[in-house]
Amino acid sequence: MPSPSLTTRRRRRVTDDVAASTLKRRLGRFDLTAMGVGSIVGAGIFVTTGVVAATKTGPSIVLSFLLAGVVCVLVALCYGELAAMVPASGSAYTYTYATLGETPAFLVGWNVLLELVVAGSAVAIGWSGMFNASLESLFGVSLPHALTASPSSGGVVNLPAMLIIAVVVAILAAEVRLTARVTKVLVTVTVAVLVVIVAIGAPHVQAANWADFAPFGAGGVVGGAAMAFFAYLGFDVVATSAEEAKNPRRDLPFAIIASVIIATVLYIAVSAVLTGVAPYQSLNNEAPVATAFKALHLGWTGGLILAASVVALTKGLLIVLYGQSRLVFAMCRDRLLPPALAKTNRNGMPLRATLVLGLVGMVFAGFVPIDIVAELVNVGALFAFAVVAAGVLVLRRTEPERDRPFRTPWVPVVPVLALVGCIVLATTLAPLTWLRFGVWLIAGIVLYLGYGRRHSVLAEEAR
């Protein structure tokens, strides 16, 4: 049996995956940009804006979104190079496995799993708040606080958040596919809702609400950017499309930068309106859009906008839950996690993984408040993205001759700035968040050393 020092550097071969691929290069600039905007814009702006503004930034949340957007562009450019080098379906886990080795790949996959599971819970919590606000605005009824808030928020359980996860899991288990047409419709609804929010809210902005622009100082802006990072998750979808891009060298950088810039403009506009029409202190809840629009007394119009926001959040939840099951499936297929979870049903759906992840997500959504959930999402994502940025630097030195259909520009400046940006944002997260993350990371290391390293496909091949 190979020594541990050797097995931890094992790399997964993706030659067979590439050879079996039937993907065609049909995506141009517009297709890639639309894909990026659709993946980024969604749940984050509806869920985290209020908490960030109320607890970290005040009206200077617009600067936090700008800073987070800059870091996302840098990371996405690094992500694009690894995605192009490993033209196989998958995520940062797959790319890291093929380029940096098994141990880094497991840690990346383990932390992306944390990001996705907790992100799904965050979206569900936001969905619950928006759904309840819609009921109150449209029909004059609302669900009891005890059943719509976590224990630490004065409730008993966030039941709607748990139920929407159960519904989405049932849909995925039944193989109701997210077709391109349905996704485009939901994306259109999402973007339209944000535009309408800005258009209706802008005339009602009160400058007095912006008087204390940065009540928490520069540190609050940076800390807010770390939490606002959640709203940008999904930009990596563009980078993973390198295999289907007509001209990846030209179109990927354009689409990545354009989609993040478009999302940043939307986020800045929406957050400026929300903090302008309502005092930022009042937005500290799971449905800040609802809070702001209550202050405008728009009646049915506001209710319809809130209902459309529920649709947008549902789209986000579907995508996140789908993605987390596919990540676990890939790790189980490589036998870094128990392969029993990778078992598919007759429809080809990894049912066991979907159900287990759904149950975990329901617990988070039902009993954990939104601020804790949002910070856990970000620390997992920032860890994974920092590894991706470091991977570009390492591979440029160790394998300079390797074919790179898309190259990160201005190396080493871009990956170094991306790495530093991730580290800076991560250091602003609460110490308790780091403690929780440390527990998760230690659990992953124990799992890898006790199970994954010995049972992985590459370990079997090495025997």
Highest-scoring range by mean pLDDT, 10-24, 281-295, 405-419:
405-419
Q: Confidence band (pLDDT; 50, 70, 90) for 237?
A: low
User: How many CB atoms lie under 10 A from the CB of residue 390?
Assistant: 19
- Weakest mean pLDDT among 311-315, 346-350, 416-420, 455-459: 346-350
Token code pair at residue 459: 């370990």
Q: Confidence band (pLDDT; 50, 70, 90) for 396?
A: very high
pLDDT at residue 179, rounded to an integer: 43
Query: Whole domain around residue 57: which residue ranges?
Result: 33-462
Full DSSP string of 80-121? HHHHHHS-SS--HHHHHHHHT-HHHHHHHHHHHHHHHHHHHH
Check whether 223 has a pLDDT greater than 70: yes
**Whole-number average pLDDT of the chain:** 84
Task: Give residue-wise pLDDT tens across range 239-251.
Answer: 666 656 788 777 8
How large is the average pLDDT for residues 292-298? 77
How large is the average pLDDT for residues 279-306? 79
- Given the structure tokens 């940043």, which residue do they identify? 264
pTM score of the predicted model: 0.82
Cα torsion 175, 179, 185, 188: sign? positive
If one compares 37 and 236, the residue with the highest pLDDT of the two is 37
pLDDT at residue 14, rounded to an integer: 52
Tell which residue, 264, 193, 262, 188, has the closest CA to residue 228: 264
CA 16/CA 19 separation, integer angstroms: 5
pLDDT at residue 26, rounded to an integer: 72
pLDDT at residue 85, rounded to an integer: 79
Please report whether residue 21 resides in a domain.
Answer: no
Please report whether residue 23 resides in a domain.
Answer: no
pLDDT at residue 241, rounded to an integer: 64
* Residues whose CB falls within 8 Å of the CB of residue 260, separated by 6 or more in sequence, listed in order: 36, 40, 69, 72, 73, 76, 232, 235
Number of domains making up the chain:
1
Number of H helices and E strands in the chain, helices first, is 21, 0
Token code pair at residue 185: 């419709």
pLDDT at residue 34, rounded to an integer: 78
How large is the average pLDDT for residues 42-47? 74
Please report whether residue 325 resides in a domain.
Answer: yes
Q: What is each CA distance from 42 to 49, 133, 212, in whole angstroms?
A: 12, 18, 28
Tell which residue, 92, 68, 10, has the closest CA to residue 391: 92
* Residues whose CB falls within 8 Å of the CB of residue 443, separated by 6 or more in sequence, listed in order: none
- State what percent of residues in the chain have pLDDT above 90: 37
Please report whether residue 305 resides in a domain.
Answer: yes
First to last CA, the chain: 6
- Weakest mean pLDDT among 8-17, 341-350, 363-372: 8-17
Do 428 and 223 form a contact (C-beta atoms < 8 A)?
yes
Do 248 and 50 form a contact (C-beta atoms < 8 A)?
no
SS3 call for 358: helix
Domain with residue 247: its CATH number is 1.20.1740.10
- Weakest mean pLDDT among 289-293, 303-307, 438-442: 303-307
Please report whether residue 28 resides in a domain.
Answer: no
How large is the average pLDDT for residues 129-158? 90
How large is the average pLDDT for residues 214-232? 91
Token code pair at residue 362: 């329901």
Do 318 and 354 form a contact (C-beta atoms < 8 A)?
no
pLDDT at residue 272, rounded to an integer: 95
Check whether 157 has a pLDDT greater than 90: yes
- Given the structure tokens 């429809």, which residue do they identify? 347
CA 150/CA 146 separation, integer angstroms: 8
Task: Give residue-wise pLDDT tens across range 172-189.
Answer: 777 545 445 566 677 777
Please report whether residue 16 resides in a domain.
Answer: no
Please report whether residue 413 resides in a domain.
Answer: yes
Q: Confidence band (pLDDT; 50, 70, 90) for 4?
A: very low
CA 383/CA 112 separation, integer angstroms: 8
With vertex at residue 427, the alpha carbon angle to CA 425 and CA 428, rounded to the nearest 5 degrees, is: 70
pLDDT at residue 218, rounded to an integer: 94
How large is the average pLDDT for residues 322-336? 86
Check whether 201 has a pLDDT greater than 80: yes
pLDDT at residue 5, rounded to an integer: 45
Please report whether residue 334 resides in a domain.
Answer: yes
